[in-house]
Structure 1
Amino acid sequence: MRPLSDLPLDLARSVRVVLSDIDDTITSEGMLTASAYAALEALHRAGFIVIPVTGRPAGWCDHIARMWPVDAVVGENGAFYFRYDRPARKMHQHFWASAEERQENRARLDAIEKEVLATVPGAALASDQAYRVADLAIDFCEDVPPLPEQEVDRIVAIFERAGAQAKVSSIHVNGWFGAYDKLSMAKILLADVFGLDWDAARRSVVYAGDSPNDEPMFAAFPLSVGVANISAFSHRLRHKPAYITAAHSGDGFAELAALLLRAKDGTGA
């Protein structure tokens, strides 16, 4: 991982699309700071396509798509994308699985939930679980005392024994049934809504993240950026981001946004 300051401005000028994780990438210690939100708004106003790609639930993503300065949002680690058409006042929703499939998968996830809570002391259901449509989120440090890494691995193993996918974020273990992840839904969104085929996307997208569930995105996009706190997870990553910010969390996202805006304006050194 090279310092973000080493990113050539010519490469930064090629960016049209900013994809970013939310928790501990745009937010800091669970808060959306004024500086991080201002960075989002500045990118959007400058004409970048801005898309959060998050493990957070459908209920949150409806709010984000409607009220944040973004063009769309991918949620629940790729279960769907939401795009709000402001002039038409219409929310467009695209799900990976049908409503019937999601209902069947929920029964299987309910069984996993019971096993995890019965066998991993200190783990809890994520406080935002009620707003989810496709996955199960187990809290290991957001609203509970942080669990040891081996306990996080136990949660992942329970999901995987049941045939589910499981990804570790900075706060939750998210699990689901279905052959999708953040990358697969982002590709669908970029092609269907913004007309970017995969070759074009690889040349014009930057992705920012902070944790192991961002690994498919780090692997896919040559221009990928980890905020500084990703160093805590580097031992869990086979595919690391190409660049790393000097600042942590939302300040790191603002650092990336400032570089992109300087490059676009031609004011970079």
Structure 2
Amino acid sequence: MKAVLTDIDDTLTLHGRLPAIAYQALEDLRAAGLVVIPITGRPAGWCDHIARMWPVDGIVGENGAFYFRYDDKARKMLRVYGQPAEERRANSEKLGKIGARILADFPGTAIASDQAYREIDIAIDFCEDVPALPLATAERIRQAFEGEGAVAKVSSIHVNAWFGRHDKLTMSKRLLQERFGIDTESERRHIVYAGDSPNDAPMFAFFPNSVGVANIKPYKEIMAHLPRYVTEAEGGEGFAELAKALLEARHG
């Protein structure tokens, strides 16, 4: 294996927190020489912090809208976006108007509490900081965004929507190629992807060595593509289980 890509929410986290065992797993994987990259729907503001302070080699954020990589030697943050700034601003304005209608049409939802730190997409909270709504409601919200011409994905906590062709897989390929010389088309079998929810399905489909943490099981009926493997434990404990298996195999 050359790289480990992983979702964050409910894959590295457990019940909304990042457990020490998951953080240690990131450190151990990186120390073993693997490229470690979180792939998340979380906002640019969070991604800046993660790229700087976590034991990772970069991060793909807002469902593939950009990647950030911090150069420790130069003490400089590299930010690469899929859209120019003017296009991002225009799309954000359109999404804000659609989001206001979504909130009115789906009582009990809210704009995600991390929206202030987003640059490209909009996130509708149906489970994180509001009383949990059924997954069927999240699916209807996704369909409503798509009816407006946006791309929308359901995670374990949010419905994320954006305008543009970017996605997690496209930007992950770009980051791996541009910064690490890893061609995902020819080397996909040397990359592991870990996730937990429907918006991870394209990654599960592309990477043969895909892993779902145990809390993916409730989503299996609505996912087009399932992971090849599933851990025994949930969330960050499941990720640590995966890391242990990879490191044991790597060291014989």
TM-score > 0.5, shorter chain as reference: yes
* 1:166 and 2:161 matched: no
* 1:263 and 2:249 matched: yes
* 1:55 and 2:73 matched: no
Q: From 10, 15, 22, give the equivalent of 1:24.
A: 10
Among all aligned residue pairs of Structure 1 and Structure 2, give the percentage whose two residues are the same amino acid: 62
Taking CA–CA contacts closer than 8 Å with sequence separation of 6 or more, which of the two structures ends up with the larger relative contact order? 1
- Give the Cα separation in 2 of the matches to 1:203 and 1:241: 14
Q: Report the counterpart of residue 81 of structure 1 in structure 2.
A: 67
- Give the Cα separation in 2 of the matches to 1:224 and 1:63: 26
* 1:145 and 2:131 matched: yes
- Residue-pair matches, total: 252
* 1:249 and 2:235 matched: yes
- 1:197-242 Cα offsets, whole Å, 9 max, x none, are 1334312100000001101100000110000000011111111000
Q: Report the counterpart of residue 221 of structure 1 in structure 2.
A: 207
Q: Report the counterpart of residue 12 of structure 1 in structure 2.
A: none
Q: Report the counterpart of residue 111 of structure 1 in structure 2.
A: 97
- 1:152-189 Cα offsets, whole Å, 9 max, x none, are 12211221011000000000000000011100000111
- Give the Cα separation in 1 of the matches to 2:71 and 2:186: 24
Q: Report the counterpart of residue 3 of structure 1 in structure 2.
A: none
Q: TM-score, normalization: structure 2?
A: 0.98
* 1:98 and 2:96 matched: no
Unaligned runs of 5+ in 1: 1-14
- Give the Cα separation in 2 of the matches to 1:46 and 1:198: 20
Q: CA deviation at 1:148?
A: 1.8
- Give the Cα separation in 2 of the matches to 1:228 and 1:71: 26
Q: Report the counterpart of residue 44 of structure 1 in structure 2.
A: 30
| Match runs of 1:198-237 below 5 Å | 198-237=184-223
Is the Cα–Cα contact under 8 Å of residues 227 and 245 in structure 1 kept in the other structure?
yes
Q: TM-score, normalization: structure 1?
A: 0.92
Q: From 41, 57, 74, give the equivalent of 1:71.
A: 57
- 1:39-70 Cα offsets, whole Å, 9 max, x none, are 11111111110000000000000000000000
Is the Cα–Cα contact under 8 Å of residues 120 and 154 in structure 1 kept in the other structure?
no
- Give the Cα separation in 2 of the matches to 1:25 and 1:69: 16
Backbone CA RMSD of aligned residues:
0.8
- Give the Cα separation in 2 of the matches to 1:200 and 1:40: 25
* 1:184 and 2:170 matched: yes
Q: CA deviation at 1:150?
A: 2.6
